Amino acid sequence: MTRLALPPPTGTQPTSPAGTGSEDLRAHLPAVEPDRAVSDWGRSERVEGLLDATVVSFLYHYWFRCEVEGIENVPSTGGALLVSNHAGALPPDASMIAKAIREEHPRPRKLHMTVEHFFKGYPFFSMLVAKMGGVPAHPANVHRLLRDEDQLVLVFPEGAKGTEKLYKDRYRLRRFGRGGFVEAAMRAGVPIVPIAVVGAEEAMPTFAHVEMLRRLTGLIYFPVTPLFPHLGLLGAAYLPAKFKLRFLEPVWPDRERSGEASADGEAPDRVRKASGRDSRPEPWDDKGLVQDLADDIRLRIQDELVDMVGRRRSAWLG
Amino acid sequence: MSTQPASPAGTGGRRVLITGVSTYWGGRLAQALERDPAVEAIVGVSPSDPTCELTRTEYVRVGTQHALLKRIVQAARIDTVIDTRLIVDSAAASPRTAHENNVIGTMNILAACGGPDCPVRKVVFKSSAHFYGCERDDPAYFTESMRRPHSPQTSIEKDIVEAERALAAFNDRNAGVTVTVLRFVNGLGPDLATSHSALLSLPAVPSILGFDPRYQFIAADDISGVLEHATRHDLPGVYNAAGDGVLALSEVRSLLGKPPAPILPPWGTGIAAGVLRRAGLKIPPEMLRQLRYGRAVDNRKLKAAGYTFRATSRETVQAFARHLRVRSIGPAVGEGYEYQREVEEFLRWSPAVRGDARLGLERLTPDQLAEVVRALDLLPDGRPARRAPRGTPASASSKSRLRTGSPSSSGGAADSELAAEP
């Protein structure tokens, strides 16, 4: 008889994103209800469509004049984890990447953007972020989207460290978290698509932080930008920097090690299931390997950024 | 006459004890099990009278004193205990009453179900998704193996966590007992009176300004359906029970056709809720957290265990909307059941009661019929007993068929009762 294993009531981390036997559960996903305008993740077609047709479209085409390379590196089917650099006090890069996939990709797909948990605590932001396609950056959420729902997920491994960095540090990538994104892709058996974005650093550069006002407002940081705080709400406006997005070749983290044959696109734990019980440890348990891959992807993006910044003549005209 | 003990999950019918039979959940489950011939005996216990009409369920008015429950369990050779008694809505009882019921009551019931000589082979516990709480850094879907990210904040959540801990300890000590814990999300149905149904029945749906939480609902039919499924099949472990789909509160509101009322401020929400409580609008603390952060659970484990939900979250809300529209034209006929002990006892035990479609006939399971037939054969003069005409029309045919079968293990109650008759 299977024993009931009730977890202790308090803890900090879930033991594993989806527990055991997750592959059986893929067949039991809820059916799509076509009448609904809101998805199970809280994404609203109406709000998303409205923003897409107005603000996002304007920014993409006329304000930032986005230029896209390598869109074919985004797979047309199946889950994929998109990894990008992150910049700007109020970062515009996520919505530009999502718009680029909608505009340029031969098979436009929805992109789920992971956002920090604290957004869920801010009134109005919590509503807006979810309706625009934001998903709290929880390992279980990423795993379900990638593995079970075959979706595209965008993560910024730098997190707030990327957006709060000052203008003098522009295009210098921060630490890539603890490599959690590599582990997520390994567990789900999906590729990682690195993205290099140029322009977001100049669109809303941060010159300084005011610690006292940050504490007073309860925000994660209180930046001084060219237009904020002296212009108030107008400070949310972006400078018209030229955006360039370069999608790099996908990396298959579960195939990186030599001899690990899973070329048929099967997820690693499914392969393992088929070939008897796991006599060897899971690849993501090897923290060294995870860190190496994270560093590798970080370096690839950094190299591309250096290349792209070196080629451009002007931050505004490209 | 057979003297072997009731087999736990064998071909002999189940002998079920429902605690909290006066709750909506317990009552619905008892009604569902009454229709099932595989369930041989249903005993419902509760400190208050049943709130729905039951035909063959034996109701015993008793609290959660474990000595009394143990006697009932032993005497009736109960093999399945279904605990539907958990209070999950702090508006339904004071914190002290809720704690007594949820923590101490669970402890007592488990004490009555354990022990070396206990006939109980299965315990089904109705818990709540409040176990997971509602926090800012929650995952979008809780799975059964996840821990709570933070310790519980409200008294109801503390109680539920503590009750589940008692169940886990019981499970560790009693290897031979299948323990099922079912974590239900908010139930919604015409007859289900909860804080949420009260909130959604208002002319406008109150919410916290600037938040649009995710919500799941489970239909009343699915509540009893899941409990029934767990009774019929062995599902060891924890299972989330929720209708498919996750709705935003704004979506719920538009399905109900009601305007929004974001009357709770995002800051100082607790104080504002206190003011509203004085004005008569009860918003319990655990609901405030749901209104802010929302919550959803992953129901796929239960689906993989063979249960098919009859309604999605959306259909549940739509059905509730229909109910609200119909209710506005006045109360339905025949509402309001009241338990009358004398009437129920007369219906169950009086020899004057003749079998008819609703009472009496359907109460006897094939196994019981076999016992009746066998007992009649054993009577010295073969005098037809009064019970005979009360058998189903199928009793004549079942007589020959069942006598060849293996001796039923349906236990002592029916036998001694017949033997005692003159």
Query: How many other C-beta atoms are found inside a 10 Å radius of the C-beta of residue A196?
Result: 25
> Within 13 Å, how many C-alpha atoms sit on residue B226's CB side?
32
A144–B209: do the CB atoms touch at under 8 Å?
no
Cis, bond preceding A136 (omega within 30 deg of 0): no
B173 touches A at CB < 8 Å: no
- In degrees and rounded to multiples of 5, residue B280 shows phi and psi of 105, 0
Between CA B322 and CA B329, with CA B327 as vertex, the angle to 5 degrees is 115
**A12 closest CB neighbour out of B149, B179, B247:** B149
pLDDT tens digits along B116-144: 888 999 999 999 999 999 999 999 999 99
Q: Which DSSP helix (H) or strand (E) runs through B73? A: helix B66-75
- Note the pLDDT of residue B379: 62
Average pLDDT (A159-171) is 90
- Note the pLDDT of residue A261: 44
A182 in Cβ contact with A294 (< 8 Å)? yes
- Note the pLDDT of residue A23: 53
pLDDT tens digits along B66-86: 889 999 999 999 999 999 999
A46 touches B at CB < 8 Å: no
- Note the pLDDT of residue A3: 41
Enumerate residues 248 to 267 of chain B having a beta carbon within 8 A of any beta carbon in chain A: 248, 250-251, 266
B303 touches A at CB < 8 Å: yes
User: CA A25, CA B143: separation in Å to the nearest integer?
Assistant: 11
Q: Is domain B14-339 in CATH 3.40.50.720, yes or no?
A: yes
Query: How many other C-beta atoms are found inside a 10 Å radius of the C-beta of residue A256?
Result: 15
What ipTM was estimated for this complex? 0.83
Detail the DSSP E strand segments found in A138-269: 152-155, 192-198, 208-209, 223-224, 244-247
B3 touches A at CB < 8 Å: no
A275 touches B at CB < 8 Å: no
**B136 closest CB neighbour out of A24, A118, A135:** A118
Mutation target among B143, B148, B170 for the A interface, most CBs of A within 10 A:
B143
Question: Of B253, B252, B269, B167, whose CA–CA distance to B216 is shortest?
Answer: B252
A118 touches B at CB < 8 Å: yes
Structural domain boundaries in chain B:
14-339
Amino acid at residue number A54: T
B304–A42: do the CB atoms touch at under 8 Å?
no
**Predicted structure pTM score:** 0.81
Between A9-23, B176-190, B286-300, the lowest mean confidence (pLDDT) is in: A9-23
pLDDT tens digits along B43-68: 999 998 888 888 889 999 998 888 89
The overall average pLDDT reported for chain B is 83
A9–B210: do the CB atoms touch at under 8 Å?
no
Chain A closest-CA separation from residue B244 CA (Å): 5
A253-267, A285-299, B295-309, B339-353: which has the highest mean pLDDT? Answer: B295-309
B212–A12: do the CB atoms touch at under 8 Å?
no
Per-residue pLDDT band for B380 (boundaries 50, 70, 90) equals low
Query: How many other C-beta atoms are found inside a 10 Å radius of the C-beta of residue A19?
Result: 16
